[in-house]
Amino acid sequence: MAADIIPGERDLLLVVDVQNDFCPGGALGVPEGDAVVPVINRIQPGFAHVVLTQDWHPPGHQSFASTHPGHAPFETVEAAYGPQTLWPDHCVQGTPGAAFHPDLETTKAEMIVRKGTRAEIDSYSAFYENDHTTATGLAGYLRERDVTRVFICGLATDYCVHFSALDAARAGFEAVVIEDACRGIDLEGSLAAANQAMAEAGVAFIASAALGD
């Protein structure tokens, strides 16, 4: 994708899960996760449309290792909708860990998509839960607003950014990942696999500098 991109009225910035629990010191801290905050704050004013996502789990969520006796975080179990990685308890509804990073600019956001709210199913993507059929409603919202291109940033590259980008592309939007505005977990090669899957799906990658100051 060419440099010097000027976002227009049909472009949206999707800020994924920049929450305390995904930042260093949080329950599921992504290495250097807080480093995305100043980058995202810098580029937000250039976008006419901004949507934030927020992991928002009830206690005892299916994705929590603590819900599965005898299992530990980062193990995989088989759920009704397929393989489920088990995580430490994180982003529990109403807790400080579920709040946005305190330095993240949120004023410009038109909408906050809360995901993972059903106890029985996880939700990485901003568009669909992990059964890949239960929609969040975001695609419909974007079509109503005549958005055609989605720029994606946030946490983590290899999970919620990755699946949001794939689903944006599958829903017919042009999907662009802002690489330096993301950070990954890289669980057993997950980062390289995610980047390959996104590239194969036609997702573009840029640096934030391409958007100007």
Helices H, strands E: what count in the chain?
4, 8
Residue 127's identity, in one-letter code, is F
Catalytic-role residue among 158, 160, 167, 182? 160
Structure tokens at 122: 């996880």
Residue 63's identity, in one-letter code, is S
Catalytic-role residue among 34, 55, 115, 167? 115
- Annotated active-site residue 23? The verdict is no
Nearest to 183 by CA among 152, 153, 156: 156
Residue 131's identity, in one-letter code, is D
- Annotated active-site residue 108? The verdict is no
Contact assessment for residue 55 and residue 116, using Cβ atoms and an 8 Å cutoff: yes
Residue 168's identity, in one-letter code, is A
- Annotated active-site residue 115? The verdict is yes
Catalytic-role residue among 11, 17, 21, 122? 17
Tell me how far the alpha carbon of residue 164 is from its chain's centroid.
6
Structure tokens at 6: 């000027």
Active site residues: 17, 115, 160
